[in-house]
Structure 1
């Protein structure tokens, strides 16, 4: 056998070993999830129906089914997550510490099923329960900015699916609120600014108000300025900034020609 052929075979064996190891790790993670689900199901069966911790147990069980759906893609797990999270919500009175979190995760799970099946009722449900998550997290709540941002994302998805301008208007408002509530040094700040920029761009494309394009441009410039040169997202922000500048310049030239 030639040295070149031997090297190729060794490389193939290395790739196969790597793929086998990756599969074993994935199988191990799924197995641990199965055990966790079984354990919490067992604990729930032992709790009285009026136990004060039952909503939290239901929440964790629903979250585990959601994680297993992410790992394995079984729609039954997604449906189970929806059902169990709804049970957790029904068991939680308004103001219960777990209620807003359950509503938020239920909304995310509805969004996943919408992405999977394309049923508009699911994105409508996501918007509704995420709105309630915001309502359950008053001013000063540590997760309010996250819930506002997530609510606005679902509104944007609904807007792009149905074209209702009211959804876009509320999304812009909620994205802005989320940004305003997010400290400058919060690692989520760039993502929330990016979402706000996208919503301004969508509104410009719909209504043609140049001010929205200018707002998007200012945000993209701010994102570039706040992102270190070695950061992998800097190229993305530069591309978005270039696109906004291109749109702005095109509008300016058309205005000059009129």
Structure 2
């Protein structure tokens, strides 16, 4: 019998002996269920908002410091559905923003909005929250007033798609020399692997390919201004995505220990 097999058998015998003789042990067994993994995730305790990116502007702080800022417009956000741990395996709030003509939606979408008791929305997104949080009622109105000036938020959106890009644009490679016999390979990445060891191209090799068009999360953006009457939130810094793009705003998961004053 091999050493590895004997070690495995001995470990199984020890576990069975412990399970039979000490069944009343107070130590709980480790939970590896999908439901248990949800509780281990660091999620916000309240739903955030979905908004449209309006563009960037300049904001002046109280001390006269000029900082870049992004304007986010939450166009009449409403709760269209909720996801529960018992039914769906995770907890989330579905939020709809904007407006759309009834003739431009499908029958399943129209039935979904009628069931929720809300007008037809242009965009619908899901916002994950902690399973210990209290879920809002379907059809409830949301407001930008949940965010306070000076607090920190995380913003998530799909960044601009750049299409198929070369290694210099995609990864910042310097390229080949422009002279000394270099022929038609000025912007190429050069060698990508070895012929003998390991004899293949390793996964994750930085090469030319599709650039952009993926989810990007920018953390710890400070809220500079909140205008509930206009459904506008102004945050410091840049936000991924193009203008009129949909972004998700939530409370910061890991806010800074020493917040900056406005």
Scaled to the shorter chain, the TM-score interval is under 0.3
When normalised by structure 1's length, the TM-score is 0.20
Task: Please identify which structure carries the higher strand content.
Answer: 2
Rg larger in structure: 2
TM-score by length of 2: 0.20
Structure with the larger RCO, 1 or 2 (CA within 8 Å, 6+ apart): 2
